[in-house]
A and B are shown apart, each in its own frame.
Chain A
Amino acid sequence: MTDQKPFTGRSRQRRTRWAVALGDTVSRVLITVGGIGTIVAVSTVFVFLLWVVIPLFLPAHLGFIREVPGAWIANNGTEDAAGATETDANPVLEFGVDEFQTTGWVLDARGVVTSFEVKTGQSLTEQDLELESPLTAVTSVPGFSVHYLAGEDGKVREADFGFATDFLPSDDVSDEARALAPEQMMLYETEDDVGMLQKTTQGQYRFQTLNVEVGEAMEFFTAPVRLLTASMPGNELILAAMSAEGELTVRRHAKRENLLTGTTSWEESDSATLTIEKRNGSLPKHLLATGAGDQLFVIWEDGLLRRFNIRRLAKGLVAAEEIDLLPAAEAHLSHVGFILGQNTFIAADTQGELRSWFSVRDAQAATPDKTTLVSAQTYPPTGSPVTAFSASSRSRIFAVGSDDSRISIYQATTGSRLASKLLSADSVKKSTAPTSGASNGEKRQPITHLLLTPKDDGLISIAGDRFVQFAFDPRHPEATFTSIFRPLWYESYPEEEHVWQSSGANQDLEPKFGLMPLIFGSLKATLYSMLIGAPLALLAAIYTSEFLTPSLRVKVKPTIELMASLPSVVLGFLAALVFAPFVEEVISTIIAGAFCLPICMLAGAFLWQLIPEPWSVILARWRLAFIALCIPIGMSVSTLLGPVVDNVVFAGDMHRWLDGQIGTGTGGWFLLFLPLSFIGMGVISSRWINPWMRERSHRRLWSGKRFIVIDGVKFALLGVVSLLASWLIALGLNAFGLDPRGIFFGTYVQRNALVVGFVMGFAIIPIIYTIADDALAAVPEHLRSASLGAGATQWQTAVRIVVPAATSGLFSALMIGLGRAVGETMIVLMAGGNTPVMDWNVFNGFRTLSANIAVELPEAVRNSTHYRMLFLAALSLFILTFIVNTIAELVRIRFRRRIVEL
């Protein structure tokens, strides 16, 4: 073949030119790479969302950094053992570190403050506070650097353990300091101070020194102070102390600012005293004053708590409530401490059980101030007696140390244990002094002191004379599977609830990340819009494909598709600014219209049947126009009926009726059951009345005309009967004391689910309509022809042949509409009211996942828990719509395959 000469005489190149081959290869590679790359790029959306969300669920990290011998602890311990409490060889009363974890300090019972370098444990300075007597109690106010020290002399002093930060000029620092690498630090001495010097990344020299200032003594008792607590609500200071003799004094101080010197001082404004009797021979062991300054808790070791309301001290101290914190009698309370905000306290007992308590308002409470203490959360137990406790100063995390040298960290609200770790094995081995508290004979030292560092990024513990530093990363403790999807008992809430409240007015208010209200909002919006949109769209599609003339069809379909391209922001704006106020005005008319319009159309159909056949055949061309005419008629009827509805159903004033101020539940039930009873009557009619009538007609008892009239009368009668039926049901339900208000109805809010449902109907109707119409149109013509040929009417063909054949297509149309409704943002954002409540009330607002993202994401701090939670919301939306759409798509593919086979 190849050597045959071509008939044109020209020799033809038989091999593909290299340029063509190259072009082919290049294009193939390019298209393949580009195509697959694009598809991969799109799938990164999912991957990226996941990547941001995953850290939410990563466990907290608690890593051992170092262990240093605290020489000063040992020294003090030996030197001063006699002066300190007998049972504890360690005289450390309080300790703290700066926020960079460079320098720490300890305060011992002598009133000596020792600062030390955290890294080496080497002591830097020693400062005697020169108190006249040994210290017996120390308390601090969370969030402030001030501490209150009480001594054997019965006096309380304010002491501010502040870290002074200084930036040294680079000319002044020593050569050794200059040699530091950025971020590196060293012990540094200036002429008058010793502290830590750190070179920052900006090349500055940050010099940190501990600065302790002790205020004037405030005299409380003559006897030693045994317990002390403080709180600072607003510009007040509340100090409560108990002496060794059981005398309890609470003092309220107001802040006074000296305008000349600029210093502030506390001036006593109110006080009260009470002597607490011994119980089982012992005085209370813990004393706590809440952060709001309104409650004082006096707690005995056996778990009894006596609550005092200290809002008005002038009335004296009267116990408001007594509660047993330890219903199980075996254990004793070992530690009680507040977490951030000083509202919730954690009670730890000698068996290692931990519970959180806070007070809630409860109108039913038996207490005089209608407040009661509740135990909101129980934490995974530590297993052995709790010996140390520390609460974070920036989040609701607390750490406890236990007798078997275990450290456990918890999130207070969610109740989850974030981390739990034994002090390293080394430290256990090295521990020298056997402790009295260890019960199981192992040489594990109890943790005597524990401290969560100011930035929540570290944990320092003291066990014996050793001192262990951990790195701590809580990650996102507020977000756990439980806290996101299950109701939680948040502080001051009366019960467990789903709450979304991402940010509060101040730091004390915990963020509440319950996604359920938002998911609920999305579902509510979807439900109401589908209730309105889906029937309209499906019915309209059926009419379009089965009854509309082709010439009209090509005009109608694009018009409705045009609706799909309406930007949702336009719909949202119209919903919020035009429809919402309008609907509020004419709500009863709209409710009347919901029933009047279909009834008008049915009535129109019965009238249409009365038209003699030859006429109706000619008029059929304009049937849609006649149907459309029913709309204004129906609307005017409903305008007339509106006041009637108002009077009959809503007792004359809808808003007040909805608020539950007037009327009974009958009207509401009546409205709810009206559609049901209409449907029921329809079923009864087609099941029993129509066959009966058909039979009469077969027997030639009724002529055609007469039948039509009877049919119309039947329709009218059924209408009246269903009205009566639903009224009766409503009366019955009302008699049982049931009221739909509070369930399906409730207070009217201008931007509500009804408005959103109505307007979102606009958004989803065209989508459902187009796909449903396509599906119906895809049913092969021969099926229709066969059905019509066999004598079926158009309606019969539509209902019995076309719709069943297209069911799966219609289903996928609904699913796609659903997918759109779930994720719609602008309409719900503008017209949904944006309150994250879980309430089925049609007339109340809601907040959807999508609107929440739009509102909060711009303000969310990058990589914060809030930010990741919003990503989780986006991911849930993505997954939700993906599932819905995939189902729709699979059904549609099946439908397409089946329809071809038909």
Chain B
Amino acid sequence: MTALVPPNTEKPATTPAASRKSRRRGSPAANIIARGEPMVWLTGGALALCMVMIIGLLVLVLIQGSTTFWPTPVIRAHLQDDSIRQGEVVRRETFELTRAMTKNLPAESQQAALTWMGDRETIVAERMLVRVGNFELTNTHYEYVYPFEIQPDGLTYPEWAMTIERMEWGRFFGTPAQFIVKHTRVLPQSEQELKALLEFFETNADRIPAEYQQAVQSALSKVDEEYRRIRQKNSAAFLKKYPPAEGMQIFVVNDGGDPVESSAETATDAVGEVWHVWSDPSRAFAAYEVYHNDVRERRTEINSLEKHELGEINSRIEEGRLALRQIEMAHRVNLISPIDEAEFARLEWSGENERLANAQAALSQWTGRFGDASPLVVAANRILAELNEDAASRHAAWENLQNELREQVNALPPAASKALESMLKIQEASNYDTQRVMTQIDELRQENDRYEFRLQTAQGAEVALPLAEIVRAFPANKIGYFDRVRIYVSRWEEFLLDDPRESNSEGGVFPAIWGTMVMTVLMSLAVVPFGVLSALYLREYAKKGLVLSAIRISINNLAGVPSIVFGVFGLGFFCYIIGASIDELFFSAKLPNPTFGKGGLIWASFTLALLTLPVVIVATEEALAAVPNSMREGSYACGASKWQTIRRIVLPRALPGIMTGAILAMARGAGEVAPLMLVGAVKLAPELPVDHLYPFFHGERSFMHLGFHIYDLGFQSQNSEAAKPMVFTTTLLLIVMITLLNVSAIWLRGRLRNRFRVSQF
């Protein structure tokens, strides 16, 4: 095989005076036909084609996958009908336009197309697919731009065109119009108190006793006067704090008014907010860059509060509810709906109670200020007493409901009342916690609402984007190479570490990566021990014979059974039989909602473990076979027992082979999708299968999977054009993952082969 030169190198048969024998051998025809060059070229062509196909495919995925995140410039096309398309060019494609086809075009562009074509019958040209974004305004993500539609010199790259990636509605393209920072005036205590007093009487105007009406009104007018005086003083002081600066305008928002530019004339006595406004694009963008990070951080904090803290609270409530449900089922009583009723009553009461407490606190201050005898204080006391009564009646209603529940439970075994008490406690605690978290969230939200980025679209509309909704914004035509690299890297970072958004077509794939990893690891934990056990049995213990070869054939066969069949088995056996039984035994409280009786992480792992078992068995067997018998015999000769030999001699040498098998199994498992569709991979799983909540590992949960993600995005997505870039990057990621696993397996196998050379077929 090393012979590159055809071995029958004979003399060129050109000498006419050769013997008959040598002439026969040297005949050029025999020579040339025997070499079969055309056929060799055909076989070689097949090989070359295969190579081109595989390399072409990988290159396609690599290029498409890796260029997706590269920031591209924003183009602005001014069209014949005076409309404007602004956005990123997704791709340019050639198209053929014939005279007949122009009839299908919209009326405005028909004429343009015809003039553009001149007297040619057909024309091949390049059109652009432009991602125009601004979905909430345009109702489309993409638009084709034909060369004949564009006005002469209508194609520009506006200097300040920004590409903005948002949490919702996809991309936005526009130029910065204004960046606004709002400063709200914090009311000093004296002003606050007076305001509260005025408001209290305003809301409870109908409760003021008739005999006090007059007195209260006159007292209030005095209070009002004082309030205005203080407010004016404070407003002036507040305005002074925000002097105008270079390139920045100052707007003032008076209480309940529209913002007006700050000047001597507009200064009023009731300033609510002061706005710092940067209208110059470069300054606005600079201001955006200053504030954006903080805002995003707060946004992340809000998200994590909502997801973790509130999630934890909900899971606690759910637990208590389940305990109650169990009792409900065991004793055929009705607990959960009354407890919900009681909770509702409590919420009503606590709302009332809070308002009351606030008023009470205020009252004590007024008392200090106006004295006990002031008609204001007297009237307020009267009103409060009334309010108190309301609250008390609500409280009583709640207590009643609770007591009824307790009575009902008292008839049951003590465990029931314990569960009820704990549920009540949980509700109370979680209420407090919810309150706390919600306050935190509200504070963060309010802080974020201070910033506003206003942009102008190409069509001239001005849109205010909340800063927290902006993931990333950059002037696409201005930034330099390094900024592009920075954005590229940050987009990859987002892709790898974030949750998906926009029905998976934007954001990251972290849950899918995590799901794939956890599933694969769990699968290999299940498959490797059993695979190794079987291989050990087959290779070391079983007696050679017909049965053994039958088993071996079956195992090789199983490797060829379609993966979907394992999926069917997994669904029917693991989910519907084993899972359902587990549900009935341990999670009957949740029925008819299945816990384990549906697709989930462990069932997916087990199914894939079955699927990859032959891979591990075959690889391990190969590795065991590769250990020379002389080593076993040597070990026996030294007096070692069979198990000692296996453990000390055979297994260590077979270890690389076993690991190869395990890695190959992982590679196969990570890339398999068909069975997962049946046993637990889902489009979107907000909860990770392994997280920080007790018991940390949730095998029953559905999970996201990279392969399924590709299927879902590429096949089931509403907007497949928008999903395409994402599919390519996900594909690239999956291929890289699997290739790494495979390459490491091949490398290991190579090392093993070099150590113990044995024929492979």
Contact = CB atoms under 8 A, between A and B. Distances in A.
B138 interface: no
A765 B54 CA distance: 10
A893 B735 contact: no
A543 B46 contact: yes
Interface stretch (B109-117, B415-423, B530-538): B530-538
A598 B569 CA distance: 45
Interface SS of chain A: helix, strand, loop or mixed? helix
Interface residues of A, number: 142
A174 B662 CA distance: 68
A663 interface: no
Size category, B interface: 35 or more
A791 B562 contact: no
A574 B549 contact: no
B613 A38 contact: yes
B533 A30 contact: yes
B714 interface: yes
B537 A32 contact: yes
A201 to B, nearest CB: 10
Contact of B30 (A36, A697, A870): A697
A69 B642 CA distance: 78
A886 B542 contact: no
Nearest to B45: A601
Contact of A565 (B41, B534, B555, B738): B738
Given A559-B55, A702-B28, A896-B761, A536 B50 contact: yes
Contact of A704 (B28, B41, B332, B538): B28
A540 B761 contact: no
B125 to A, nearest CB: 15
B761 A777 contact: yes
Interface string A543-572: 111111110000010111111011111101
B16 interface: yes
Contacts of A28: 541, 642-643
A872 B276 CA distance: 71
Contact of A628 (B48, B534, B674): B48
B576 A793 contact: no
Contact of B4 (A34, A537, A549, A796): A549
Nearest to B55: A559
A464 interface: no
B710 A823 contact: no
Given A16-B641, A565-B739, A793-B34, A42 B610 contact: yes
Contact of B760 (A39, A704, A774, A781): A774
A523 to B, nearest CB: 14
B29 A39 contact: no
Given A694-B30, A698-B24, A704-B31, A877 B715 contact: no
A573 B674 CA distance: 13
B39 interface: yes
Interface in B5-50: 5-9, 12-14, 16, 23-25, 27-50
Of B31, B40, B538, chain A has the most CB atoms within 10 Å of the CB of B40
A594 B39 CA distance: 17
Contact of A42 (B41, B553, B613, B670): B613
A702 B35 contact: no
A386 interface: no
A181 interface: no
A683 interface: no
A774 B760 CA distance: 8
Contact of A703 (B1, B4, B14, B551): B14
A784 B1 CA distance: 8
Contact of B27 (A561, A617, A623, A698): A698
B643 A563 contact: no
B32 A711 contact: yes
Contacts of B711: 569, 572-573, 826, 829-830
Given A24-B641, A45-B610, A570-B61, A857 B678 contact: yes
A97 interface: no
Contacts of A538: 46
Contacts of B555: 39, 42
A556 B47 contact: yes
Contacts of B529: 34
A429 interface: no
A23 B644 contact: yes
A192 interface: no
A617 B339 CA distance: 92
Nearest to A577: B714
Nearest to A20: B641
B671 interface: yes
Contact of B710 (A569, A608, A858, A884): A569
B186 interface: no
B48 A889 contact: no
A676 interface: no
A366 interface: no
Of B38, B576, B746, chain A has the most CB atoms within 10 Å of the CB of B38
Contact of B565 (A52, A569, A708, A877): A877
Nearest to B550: A886
B742 A562 contact: yes
Contacts of A777: 761
B761 A775 contact: yes
Given A49-B569, A830-B714, A882-B561, A788 B3 contact: yes
Contacts of B23: 698, 700
A850 B562 contact: yes
Of A20, A562, A888, chain B has the most CB atoms within 10 Å of the CB of A562
A52 B572 contact: yes
Contacts of A566: 57, 671, 735, 738
Interface in A266-312: none
B447 to A, nearest CB: 43
Contact of A697 (B6, B29, B671): B29
Contacts of B727: 573, 577
Interface in A765-784: 765, 769, 774-775, 777-778, 781, 784
B464 interface: no
B445 interface: no
B761 A774 contact: yes
A496 to B, nearest CB: 30
A597 interface: yes
Of A39, A700, A853, A886, chain B has the most CB atoms within 10 Å of the CB of A39
Contacts of A820: 560
Contacts of B643: 20, 23-24, 27-28
Given A35-B542, A609-B32, A825-B562, A559 B613 contact: no
Contacts of B47: 539-540, 543-544, 548, 556, 624, 627
A662 interface: no
B6 A822 contact: no
B448 interface: no
B16 A543 contact: no
A372 to B, nearest CB: 42
A690 interface: yes
Nearest to A698: B27
A803 B57 CA distance: 30
Given A48-B573, A547-B40, A696-B29, A36 B537 contact: yes
B571 interface: yes
Interface string B722-761: 0010010001001100110010001000000000000111
A31 B533 contact: yes
Interface string A667-705: 000000000000000000000001001101110101110
Given A31-B537, A547-B44, A850-B562, 15 more contacts: A536-B49, A565-B742, A567-B672, A574-B60, A574-B731, A605-B42, A698-B27, A702-B28, A777-B761, A823-B564, A850-B564, A854-B567, A854-B677, A881-B561, A893-B553
19 contacts: A23-B644, A35-B535, A536-B46, A540-B50, A543-B43, A546-B1, A560-B54, A570-B731, A597-B49, A608-B41, A698-B29, A700-B16, A791-B8, A794-B3, A799-B39, A829-B674, A853-B564, A854-B678, A870-B568
Closest 5 CB pairs of A and B: A823-B562, A35-B537, A567-B671, A697-B29, A795-B36
